[in-house]
Structure 1
Amino acid sequence: MNFLKKFCSLVVAGIISSVASSANSCTFITLTGADGTVVASRTMEWGAFDLSPMMTFVAAGTKASSMKMPDGQEGAQWVTKYDVLGVTMLGQMLFGDGINSEGLNVSLLYLPGFAEYQAYDPNEAEISLAPVDFTGFMLSQFASVAEVKQAVEKIRLVPVVTPELGVAAPVHFSITDKSGDQIVVEYVGGALKVYEKTLGVMTNSPPYDWHINNARNYINMRSVDWPEIDANGIDLAPIGYGTGLLGLPGDFTPPSRFIRALAWTETSRATDGGEDTVHEALRILANFQLPMEATDKKLNPAELDILKYGGTQYTVSYDLKNLRAYFQTSENPKVRSVDFNKFDFGGTPTPLKIPMRDLSGSFATDVTPIR
């Protein structure tokens, strides 16, 4: 717990140390296939402790509520309008990301040092949410980005402390629907900010508008190599493949990952849609797998032991057209999927969770010829 106290104090102070920035280095991307399939995908990095991610099914008609407010009052309470499928964490109904039956995706990513929520007003407790309840609320209540844009103006996101962190989780959100419409929602300086023009990718701090401005430094990136030039009669040709992305940053910081995610989605191959687009998204996100060497094991080696294969706790890709989720974990890199159309939400009166770290199968398929 000493590490958590130190970590939380750094967040509160707004100091993004090498430990903090690498331990919560989530990356989000979107791709669109030729048939109109929109795929929203993300990695979940968290090197501080085990998030215990579970693929969770919640049927429409389920009663739900926010965490209690800072003064102990009940917060917002609602009945889910749509079926929801997504990843919950910490053994609770706290969605890190998910999809609903209408093809809406919401993904929560960290924003340490900058996220600052609206002031809590006891008189508005019934429309107030904890930051970690935002994802589940939006997924269960709204069908499109347009509806979410209206909804965020009518709710309040207030600084309710997440016990496992010791502070109100500093987060921001990417919201995408099956049409490809997308917004980014942040709370900075106590004010709501909605970015209606996005680049289709998101990482962590600083806020989203900073990343958009920073992207202007990399507009020279392209998918093909630069041609040779003549310099005083000498032909100077590229030394090798890859000059089109010369200068692409390679470290784990949020600004560098944002630029890599943008470069690789903008130069990705054309896909047919469906699993072909999901395959391309997972291929891109494989470049963002966080090795455990990027965190300080000396701080708490016991809690980091379960993450021995790396700090990326899971990678998930949501097909918003065909309503399927594909996922893998560091412990089990095999891609597994769940299908909205095959699951009986009507026969699930209470939320159903399945472990994402299923190690029952073999690590590799033995294809040795048998004579």
Structure 2
Amino acid sequence: MCTRVVWTDAGGSVIVGRNMDYHRELATNLWLLPRGVRRDDGVHGELTWTSRFGSVVATAFDMISVDGLNEAGLAGHVLWLAESDYGELDPARPALSQAVWLQYFLDTFATVADAVAWIEANDVQVAQMVDPASGEVPAIHLALDDATGDSAIIEYIGGALEVHHGRDYRVMTNSPTYHEQLALLAEIDGFGGDRPLPGTTLATDRFARAAYYVGRLPQPRSQVEAIASMFSVIRNAAQPFRLPDPGRPDASQTIWQVVADLTTKRYVFESTTRPNIVWVDLEDLDFTVGAPQLVLDLGSHLAVQGGVAGNVGDRFERRADLRFLTLADLAHAES
């Protein structure tokens, strides 16, 4: 479920695209989050910080950051990985809840290299949550990329942290684990093997197609062409609408897609159930300390007749601040 692709030489820009594949709607909205906001880890509140960078994020149920871009050009993307095993929480180590895992990096770092250095120096853990609405237990890994073209894939396998860091790690999908994905890719024609390019919706096949096509994109003549080119790649890796298949957790339809220009800091969103593409240019937004947190309610704006399209930077509205799901919330709900 989900595909993420980075194009590092798109006419002078770094372009990233991702599909969000899921078996049900996530009530996704876009949020403008300014600098100077105090947050905590969502676990025991022992790790606290104040956001250094403003960001635009796509949320699930207005409780979890699942994708986003900060004003320094660092982007992050949460994808499903069934093999994720975060281990037992160790009180001696810093921990971040799954809900705020991505947001910590967008709030704090300008580059992938800085984020990876912090992860490895602090031996950070991830605390697994439970979806309070469905009872599902998310199993996720995280991709980070930045305006230099750097990239990192962050996974927890068998309770141990695994980080794949470097410009070559341009594609991520789902199962199996990342090092296994790379081994399978090496069997494909064009990547060292002799197997033809596969065409199914399996995560391994989407991985191969995304890697193949992003490496063959022509140089764009404009930003619009660069963004369109990336959409062509992630649409090729998208999953069609389908009936639920309980035995195939990877068999989820694509519900929305994002393409971001990390160099000019444009964030583009497309729903697969509504006709219009919308975007925001981060340089036009107010991220100053003390500025309000604003939301673009995609459900109401895109669902109305005709909807909205194009630059929607002036459509964000004030309402209650974004509040990330915490372990305390889950404990309270259970009691």
TM-score (normalizing by structure 2): 0.82
Amino acid at match of 1:139: L
Amino acid at match of 2:213: W
Instruction: Call closer, same or farther: CA 1:46–1:259 in 2, change over 3 Å.
Output: same
Give, in whole Å, the separation in 1 of the partners of 2:191 and 2:163.
28
Q: What corresponds to 1:180 in structure 2?
A: 149
Q: What corresponds to 2:316 in structure 1?
A: none
Give, in whole Å, the separation in 2 of the partners of 1:186 and 1:81.
25
Give, in whole Å, the separation in 2 of the partners of 1:256 and 1:351.
39
How much does 1:332 deviate? 1.6
**1:293 partner SS:** coil
Amino acid at match of 1:211: Q
Give unpaired runs (5+ residues) of structure 2: 247-251, 310-335
**Structure 1 runs, 4 residues or longer, greater than 6 Å off:** none
Amino acid at match of 1:322: T
Amino acid at match of 2:171: V
Instruction: Call closer, same or farther: CA 1:291–1:333 in 2, change over 3 Å.
Output: same
Instruction: Call closer, same or farther: CA 1:30–1:333 in 2, change over 3 Å.
Output: farther
Q: What corresponds to 1:214 in structure 2?
A: 184
Give CA-to-partner distance per residue, 1:321-352, whole Å, 9 cap, x none.
Answer: 11110111012232211111111223863421
Q: How many residues align?
A: 299
Confirm or deny: 8 A CA contact 1:119 1:190 kept in the other structure.
Answer: yes
How much does 1:363 deviate? 7.7
Q: What corresponds to 1:270 in structure 2?
A: 219
Give unpaired runs (5+ residues) of structure 1: 1-24, 223-244, 298-309, 366-371
Q: What corresponds to 1:162 in structure 2?
A: 130
Q: What corresponds to 1:307 in structure 2?
A: none
Give 2:57's match in structure 1, choosing from 72, 86, 90. 86
How much does 1:181 deviate? 0.9
Q: Which has the higher helix share?
A: 1
Give CA-to-partner distance per residue, 1:103-145, whole Å, 9 cap, x none.
Answer: 0011111001x11114312344xx2111232110001100101
Moved more, 272-281 or 345-354: 345-354
Give, in whole Å, the separation in 1 of the partners of 2:238 and 2:10.
27
Q: What corresponds to 1:204 in structure 2?
A: 174
Give CA-to-partner distance per residue, 1:73-119, whole Å, 9 cap, x none.
Answer: 33522110101112011122x2111111110011111001x111143
Give 2:14's match in structure 1, choosing from 31, 38, 52. 38
How much does 1:51 deviate? 0.8
Give, in whole Å, the separation in 2 of the partners of 1:31 and 1:263.
12
**2:84 partner SS:** coil
Alignment map for 1:335-346 (pairs within 5 Å):
335-346=277-288
Give CA-to-partner distance per residue, 1:147-169, whole Å, 9 cap, x none.
Answer: 01111121522333233364652
Aligned identity (percent) is: 24
